Amino acid sequence: DFIQALTMDGSKDKTSKEPELSEAERKRMTIEETKKSLPVYPFKEDLIAAIKEHQILIIEGETGSGKTTQIPQYLVEAGFTEDKKKIGCTQPRRVAAMSVAARVAEEMGVKLGNEVGYSIRFEDCTSERTILKYMTDGTLHREFLSEPDLGSYSVMIIDEAHERTLHTDILFGLVKDIARFRTDLKLLISSATLDAEKFSQFFDDAPIFRIPGRRYPVDIFYTKAPEADYIDACCVSVLQIHATQPLGDILVFLTGQDEIETCQEVLADRVKRLGSKIKELIIIPVYANLPSDMQAKIFEPTPPNARKVILATNIAETSLTIDNIIYVIDPGFCKQNNFNSRTGMESLMVVPISKASANQRAGRAGRTAPGKCFRLYTAWAYKHELEDNTVPEIQRINLGNAVLMLKALGINDLIHFDFLDPPPHETLVLALEQLYALGALNHHGELTKLGRRMAEFPVDPMMGKMLLASEKYKCSEELVSIAAMLSVNSAIFYRPKDKIIHADTARKNFNHIHGDHLSLMQVYNQWVETDYSTQWCYENFIQYRSMKRARDVREQLVGLMQRVEIDMVSCLPETTNVRKAITAGYFYHVARLSKGGNYKTIKHNQTVMIHPNSSLFEELPRWVLYHELVFTTKEYMRQVIEIESKWLLEVAPHYYKAKELEDSTNKKMPKVQGRATMTE
Ligand code: ADP
Ligand code: MG
Residue 471 one-letter amino acid: E
Say if residues 375 and 221 touch (Cβ distance below 8 Å).
yes
**Is the Cβ atom of 39 under 6 angstroms away from ligand 1?**
no
Structure confidence at residue 21 (pLDDT): 58
Residue 303 has pLDDT above 70, yes or no: yes
**What percentage of the chain exceeds 90 in pLDDT?**
72
Between 345 and 480, the higher pLDDT residue:
480
Residue 6 has pLDDT above 70, yes or no: no
Minimum mean pLDDT range among 74-78, 223-227, 630-634? 630-634
Residue 541 has pLDDT above 60, yes or no: yes
Residue 7 has pLDDT above 80, yes or no: no
For 572-620, the pLDDT digits (tens) are: 999 999 999 999 999 999 999 998 889 999 888 889 999 998 999 998 9
Structure confidence at residue 662 (pLDDT): 78
What per-residue string of b and e applies to 428-443 under the rule 16 or more CB within 10 Å gives b? bebbbebbbbbbbbee
Residue 250 has pLDDT above 80, yes or no: yes
For 13-61, the pLDDT digits (tens) are: 333 344 455 666 777 778 899 899 999 999 999 999 999 999 999 999 9
**Is the Cβ atom of 286 under 6 angstroms away from ligand 1?**
no
Tell me which residue of 570, 406, 430, 551 sits closest to 488, measured CA to CA: 551
Question: DSSP E strands: which ranges in 580-666?
Answer: 590-593, 599-601, 607-610, 623-631, 635-642
Mean pLDDT across the chain, nearest whole number? 89
* Distance from residue 484's CA to the centre of ligand 1 (Å): 32
Residue 362 has pLDDT above 90, yes or no: yes
Structure confidence at residue 368 (pLDDT): 87
Residue 102 has pLDDT above 70, yes or no: yes
Confidence of residue 4 (pLDDT cuts 50, 70, 90): very low
Structure confidence at residue 415 (pLDDT): 86
What number does the ligand 1 atom closest to the CA of 319 have?
Answer: 4
For 384-439, the pLDDT digits (tens) are: 999 999 999 999 888 999 999 999 999 988 888 999 999 999 899 989 999 999 99
**Is the Cβ atom of 69 under 6 angstroms away from ligand 1?**
yes
Angle 128-129-132 from CA coordinates, rounded to 5°: 110
Confidence of residue 566 (pLDDT cuts 50, 70, 90): very high
* Distance from residue 125's CA to the centre of ligand 2 (Å): 20
For a mutational test of ligand 1's pocket, the pick from 34, 103, 104, i.e. the residue with the most ligand atoms closer than 8 A to its C-beta, is 103
Residue 354 has pLDDT above 90, yes or no: yes
Confidence of residue 342 (pLDDT cuts 50, 70, 90): low
SS (H, E, C) 314-353: CHHHHCCCCCCEEEEEECCEEEEEEEECCCCEEEEEEEEC
CB proximity list for 614: less than 8 A, separation 6 or greater: 515, 516, 637, 638, 639, 640
Kind and range of the H or E run holding 450: helix 449-454
Q: Is 210 exposed, middle or buried (0-12, 13-18, 19+ CB in 10 A)?
A: exposed
Rg over alpha carbons for the chain, rounded to the nearest Å, is 26
What number does the ligand 1 atom closest to the CA of 63 have?
Answer: 4
Confidence of residue 322 (pLDDT cuts 50, 70, 90): confident
Query: Which ligand has the minimum distance to the alpha carbon of residue 70?
Result: 1
Structure confidence at residue 349 (pLDDT): 84
> In this structure, what is the dihedral angle of CA atoms 147, 152, 157, 161, given to the nearest 10 degrees?
-10
* Distance from residue 61's CA to the centre of ligand 2 (Å): 9
Query: Which ligand has the minimum distance to the alpha carbon of residue 163?
Result: 2
Residue 543 one-letter amino acid: Q
Q: Write down the pTM of the prediction.
A: 0.86
**Is the Cβ atom of 585 under 6 angstroms away from ligand 1?**
no
**Is the Cβ atom of 324 under 6 angstroms away from ligand 1?**
no
* Distance from residue 249's CA to the centre of ligand 1 (Å): 16
**Is the Cβ atom of 177 under 6 angstroms away from ligand 1?**
no
For 488-501, the pLDDT digits (tens) are: 856 789 888 788 89
99, 392, 420 from 423: Cα distances, Å:
31, 9, 9
Is 75 in a helix, a strand, or coil?
helix
For 616-664, the pLDDT digits (tens) are: 999 899 999 999 988 877 889 999 999 999 999 999 988 898 888 876 4
Residue 338 has pLDDT above 90, yes or no: no
